[in-house]
Amino acid sequence: MTSLTLTNRTALVTGGGTGIGRAIALALSRAGARVAITYRSHEPDQELLDQLSAQGDPLAVAVDATSPTEVAHVAALVRETFGTLDILVNNVGGLVQRATLRQLDLDLWHQVLAVNLDTTFLMTQHLLPSISTDHGRIINVASLAGHTGGHPGALAYATSKAGIFGFTRALSREVADRGITVNALAPGFIEATPFHDTFTTAASKAATIETIPVGRAGRPDDVASVVEWLASDGSAFVTGTVIDINGGQYLR
C-alpha cells in the first residue's frame, strides 16, 4: 500500500482562500505538503494562514488569474519560493451570473469562460515548466454542470467546465512521458461555498438535496479528500480522468 503522505511536496492551490479551495489547501498541508494559495475577492483568514504555516511560511498571493501578466508573476514567485512545484490545483472559477442564451451578451460569455477556462490554461502554461517530472500532479476543479448543463442560466458556466474536461484529457497525453498526471474533478452540490451562497436559493438547495441518493449535500472536505489522494503516490497510474463527486446524483 502506498501512503497518502505528502511530506516534502510543494503545492499551489488557486482560489485557496475560501470554500473548496480552502479545504483543499488545508488537506494538502495536513498531509505534509508546503502549500501556497492564490486569491482574489476572498482573502484568506488568519486561521487558514496559521494552519498552512505548520509546513513553513505561508505564501498567499492576490492575483487576477485571468491576467497573463499577474499569472506570470505568481509563477515567478513559486519558482523563487519552492524551486520545483509538485502539485498544481486549478480551483479558480465561478458562475459570474446566471443568464440564458437569450440573455447572454458576448462580453458576459467571454467573462465566464475567462474566469473558468482561461485561468486553468494560464496557470498551467506558466507553471508547467516548474512542475516536478518525478511525481508532478495537475488537478483541475470542474463541475457536475460540465456533464449536465447545470441549473437554468448556467449555459456559459457549464460550457467552460466541460472545456476543462477536454483540456485535462488532452494535456494528460502531452505530459504523461514526463511523469506528470493530469486529472479533473466534477463536484456536484457542495454546500458552504460562495458559489451556492450567492447563486442558489434556500428552496433550490433543498430541492437539489432531495435528488442526491446519499441523502445530504456535499462538503468542501469531500472534494479535498479526493485531491489529497490524486496528489499522492497512490494515484500514479491515474491520468486523463474526470472524477465525479456528487453523492450518486449523476452516474455515467
Quick one: average pLDDT of 69-81? 97
Walk me through the domains of the chain, giving residue ranges and CATH numbers.
10-245 (3.40.50.720)
Mean of per-residue pLDDT scores for the chain? 95
In angstroms, the CA 188 to CA 191 distance is 10
Report the length, in residues, of the chain: 252
pLDDT band at 1 (very low <50, low <70, confident <90, very high): very low
Question: pLDDT digit string (tens) for 80-136?
Answer: 999 999 999 999 999 999 999 999 999 999 999 999 999 999 999 999 999 999 899
Cβ pair 57, 29 in contact under 8 A: no
Query: Is 39 among the residues known to form the active site?
Result: no
Phi, psi of 232 (to 5 degrees): -90, 170
Kindly state the DSSP code that residue 176 receives in the 8-state scheme.
Answer: G
Which of 14, 44, 137, 157 is an active site residue? 157
Cβ pair 110, 74 in contact under 8 A: no
pLDDT band at 2 (very low <50, low <70, confident <90, very high): low
Q: Which three cell numbers stand for residue 117?
A: 477556462
Q: Flag whether the pTM goes above 0.75.
A: yes
In angstroms, the CA 144 to CA 199 distance is 16
- Ranges of H-type helices in 36-134: 46-52, 68-82, 106-113, 119-127
* Cα dist from 226 to 28, 185, 186, whole Å: 11, 8, 11
Question: pLDDT digit string (tens) for 143-170?
Answer: 999 999 999 999 999 999 999 999 999 9
